[in-house]
Chains A and B, each alone.
Chain A
Amino acid sequence: MVFSTLEFLFLYLIIALGFYYLFPRKIRNIWLLIISLVFYGWGEPIYLFLMIFTIVVDYVCGYMVDKFRADKKKAKTALVISVILNLAILGFFKYYDFIVGSIINLIPGVNIPLLGLSLPIGISFYTFQALSYVIDVYRGDASVQKKITSFGAYVTLFPQLIAGPIVRYKDVDDALNERTETVDLFASGIRTFMAGLGKKILFANVVGQLWANIRDVPMGERTVVAAWLGIIFYSLQLYFDFSAYSDMAIGLGKMMGFRFLENFNYPYIADSITDFWRRWHMSLSTWFRDNVYFPLGGSRCSLFKTYRNLFIVWMLTGIWHGAYWNYILWGVFYGVILMMEKGFLLKWLEKIPKALRHVYTLIIVLFGWLIFVFENTSEGFAYLKNMFGVGAAGFASTADAYLVLRNLIFIAILIIACTPLPKKLFYKLYFNEFKPGKVWRVLVPVGCVALLVVCTAYMVDSSFNPFLYFRF
């Protein structure tokens, strides 16, 4: 199930939240587990078994790690078992075909069957979460969870189950055992959720349709301008879609007393790629930093090793996004740029005007998404050539002019929404710094309902509501 559907908002959420608050505290985690399993099994019930298996394995491993804390060897064994099992499941479902396919391509005559398994939704997210639990317990950063239902609730927690953020166990450890749901937090959750819902339905889906239209134009019929517009539209779609899911997840979490960490921090206002990756999908970067980069030695070792570590982390980040070569290329692309920034580029960048730094960053990011969006790399390459006039149908056309003209206001809104400006303005007004006072207090609930009406309208009258993360 996904958040931006009518059945989620007007059926699932009512039941989930309704009973959550009807039930006494003691059984709220059990209810969360049940309702999250329903959420997960909604589209593909078949993978529920896999999910339950993961929960049991990691629960037992975490328990073992804690029990044998004194005996480092045994604790380590339990940790290793958990890591291997989790990665094996992830590897099998996500990478089997990719690896086998690559082998078949490389070595002619080899006959290994491809499986064509559909990827269990959200597997990359929940595997990483489950792993983080055992690792956190091993490191002593979090205490062991005795109740399997509470642990299950953590792994399956429906707000962040299918598209993140990846919540580290130590961040919700306390909240899982004891949390206080308050009116302010709930209201804040509604605001966050609504911001996310609006971003997904009114921004991401609409701009995504524009991108889809341009992508579907046959090669040779696309103009240079259309190609550039297309990749800009995709960049906007991905940011608004992904950050919208995170917002909705964080908002839903707050409604039930959880405070998840932010996952996006206005990435498109970054002034370097290093800065960009501190702002984009922060929970994933953090996960890799804590669990791969630092254990490998981070940057406190020889220069060679530091660069090696960076390379490994970015290669893995790439692979994490999907079992296709383009994702690996994408990861390596960022790895190389980050190495360059670390080595000399950042120092150079400091000397040039701020505006140029932003332009530099956005252009790199744009080309990054170009690699990212085409799983078929030759198709991506053809598109790239298109952007520079090779195989394009001229520079621009009336159709481009029409496209831009009729979306001028919409795109302007999207660009402003990429900056912290709207939120800052909202808080200024809402928290009375401008002191126009009471009007805003009334306007916010009214605006909330108005936004709900418009979002519902778009959900009712729309056939374009893609879920972009089924590869993750």
Chain B
Amino acid sequence: MDNNEIKVENPVKKPKKKPEAEILLDRQLEMKTKTRKTDIAILASFCAFILFFGIMFFVMPDKEYSETEKRPLKQAPSMTFSRIGEDLKRDLKLMTMTETEKKAYIAELGDKYLVFSDEIGDYYADQFPFRDQLRTVKAAVEIGMLKQENNDVLFVGNYLIKKDSVSGVTKDEDGTFRDRTYEDAAETIKTNVHLLSGIEQSLPEGIDLRTAVAGRTVDAAKSKLPAVFPYEDTHADVYWKAYSDQINADSVSAVELKEMLKAHFENGEYVYYKTDHHWTSLGAYYAYCEIIKSYGLEPYPIDSFTRETYTTSFIGTTYAKAGAAFGGADTIELFRFEGDEDYTTKIVKGDKLTTLKGFYNKEKYRDINDKYSVFIGSDDTGDGGNNAVTLVTKNGESRKKLILIKDSFGNSIVPFLARHFDLVILDLRTSSEDFTGYLQDPDLAHILVLYNMETFMNDAKISDAASRIIPYYRTKSQ
């Protein structure tokens, strides 16, 4: 309190020492004749700026989907009198509730709990003019200040690397939702491996199951990360320990991919995209070799393929998060081989069918950012290459069958595996429909479960596979 200076009762009459800032303001205003032109310039540029963006926001059409960020964008919230009324009613109701009642009520409303002002905020942020460029500005400022990361993506050399990949929510015992932690993810990994061992044991003679989980960029790039970077914060070691411990405990037939890819990466090979979380076609080729060898077969040598450059301007999912990339765009290569157009890829979704000659949907995906969908991408599904069911056959030949249960990493390995087997490719994340019909095929020889660690710890839907395959063979054997 100011009592050291002020000894009189009424402070108003006592002249007070002005704060520095006010003295400066006074001086500044005294100088107005000198600075008049600048003042007008400041005024004009400020008003022009907010007017420009304010008007552009209304002039530019709203976008449904962001190609750069690969996610749907918030649309304009409806503002009607009935909505205002409902919101007021809801707020009144909330006012009369206790904290716990409030939480329960909001949880019950779930997605319907939308506060108009929040919605407007999200709508403005998502549809803001030049959003992509502005995000790049922010990333540039952050990296310019040597912060080394933006939005939890590391900028390491030319590479953008996601630090951790836990996602989703989980329900606690008391019924409230919370974000999953890395410990939850490690649990999921163990559960998934255990389920896979259950499937493996249920299979009859003549059908085998292989589990292959690929590393993420962060798993391969460990030695390239900044010297003081706390690698334990990525929790990568926790995940892989959970994985290998459970593999050993349940004696699951697994194909090792993580260390193999890491070695290639450290060797300077382009096995992961710089701006995307997927492996490159080269990375997929190396994985294919390991898998095929585990079947006792000989993989096709790398020089039996012609490497065709599909695009040199691929901007992927990590970029979507990071907002900028200083190592340029990625190149997608297609490993072509003689006769690869004699293969047929059929993508089934409901009554819609996309048939590809070969494995690539080149036309549809060339001009948009989602270029990775060139691999077994469908015309209709909107799932990119992650179609619920994809069938690959070689024309005029009947071969052994392999069921590939996969995430998007599997899309780019298809051209390699197809040289050996007819493929039934299932993406359980896209559809939970019954696929046991494919198990009846007498030519079925292999089931390959191929994921990358990110999917495997989050939403691999292995339990869907187990709940279909295990009962199927149990009833058959009875």
Interface residues, chain A, with chain B CB atoms under 8 Å away = 1, 5-7, 9-11, 13-14, 42-46, 113-118, 141, 170, 182-188, 190-191, 194, 259, 261-262, 265-266, 274, 277-279, 282, 285-286, 288-290, 293-294, 298-300, 306, 310, 313, 338, 342, 346, 397-399, 401-402, 405-410, 420, 423, 427, 430-432, 441-442, 444-446, 448-449, 452-454, 456-462
Residue of A nearest to B56 (CB): A10
B-side residues, CB < 8 A to A, are 1-4, 6-7, 9-12, 19-22, 24-25, 27-29, 31-32, 34-46, 49-51, 53-54, 57, 84, 87-88, 91-92, 94-99, 101-102, 115, 117, 120-121, 124-125, 128, 131, 134-135, 137-139, 141, 145-149, 151, 226, 228-230, 232-233, 323
**With contact pairs A184-B32, A461-B135 given, residues A402 and B7 touching in the complex (Cβ less than 8 Å):** no
From B41, B91, B128, B131, A44 is in contact (CB under 8 Å) with B91
Asked, given contacts A118-B94, A452-B46, whether A289 binds B135 with beta carbons under 8 Å apart, the answer is no
Contact between A278 and B53, CB atoms less than 8 A apart: no
**Do A191 and B95 touch across chains, with their CB atoms under 8 A apart?**
no
Which residue in chain A gives the minimum CB-CB distance to B21?
A262
Q: Are B1 and A310 in contact (CB under 8 A)?
A: yes
In the bound assembly, the distance between CA atoms of A185 and B139 in angstroms comes to 34
A405, B134: Cα distance in complex, Å: 26
Contact A461 B151 (CB under 8 A): yes
Q: Which residue of A lies closest to B95 (CB)?
A: A117
Residues of B contacting A274 with CB < 8 Å? 1, 4
Is the Cβ of B117 less than 8 Å from the Cβ of A188? no
- Judging by beta carbons under 8 Å apart, are B1 and A5 in contact? no
| CB closest residue in chain A, given B28 | A188
Q: Of A185, A456, A459, which is in contact with the most chain B CB atoms at under 10 Å from its CB?
A: A456
- Contacts beyond the supplied A42-B117, A453-B134: 16 A-B pairs with Cβ under 8 Å: A45-B88, A117-B95, A118-B94, A182-B32, A184-B39, A294-B10, A298-B6, A342-B4, A408-B146, A457-B137, A457-B138, A460-B125, A460-B138, A461-B138, A461-B139, A461-B323
- Inter-chain contact B124/A10, CB cutoff 8 Å: yes
Contact of A13 among B12, B50, B94, B323 (CB under 8 A): B50
Which B residues are CB-close (under 8 A) to A44?
91
A399 to B57, CA, bound (A): 41
Asked if B230 and A277 make an inter-chain contact with CB atoms under 8 angstroms apart, the answer reads no
**A180 → chain B, closest Cβ, in Å?**
12
CB distance from B180 to the nearest CB of A (A): 15
Task: Enumerate chain A residues within 8 angstroms of B233, measured Cβ to Cβ.
Answer: 399
Q: Check if B36 sits within 8 Å of A184, measured CB to CB.
A: yes
Complex Cα–Cα for A334 and B1 (A): 10
Q: A11-B124, A406-B147, A423-B24 are in contact. Are A116 and B99 (CB under 8 A)?
A: yes
Q: Give the residues in chain A near B39, CB-CB below 8 Å.
A: 183-184, 186-188
Interchain Cβ contacts under 8 Å between A and B, 24 examples: A5-B121, A7-B121, A10-B54, A46-B92, A183-B36, A184-B32, A185-B29, A186-B39, A265-B19, A279-B19, A285-B2, A289-B1, A298-B9, A299-B3, A300-B9, A310-B1, A399-B232, A406-B148, A427-B27, A445-B42, A449-B49, A453-B137, A460-B128, A461-B323
**CB contact under 8 A between A402 and B230, given known A183-B39, A448-B45, A460-B131:** yes
Closest residue on chain B to residue A399 by CB atoms:
B230
Q: In the bound complex, what is the Cα–Cα distance between A442 and B37 (angstroms)?
A: 10
Task: State how many angstroms separate the Cβ of B68 from the closest Cβ of chain A.
Answer: 12
Q: How far is the CA of A310 from the CA of B228 in the complex (A)?
A: 49
Which A residue sits closest to B131, measured CB to CB? Answer: A460
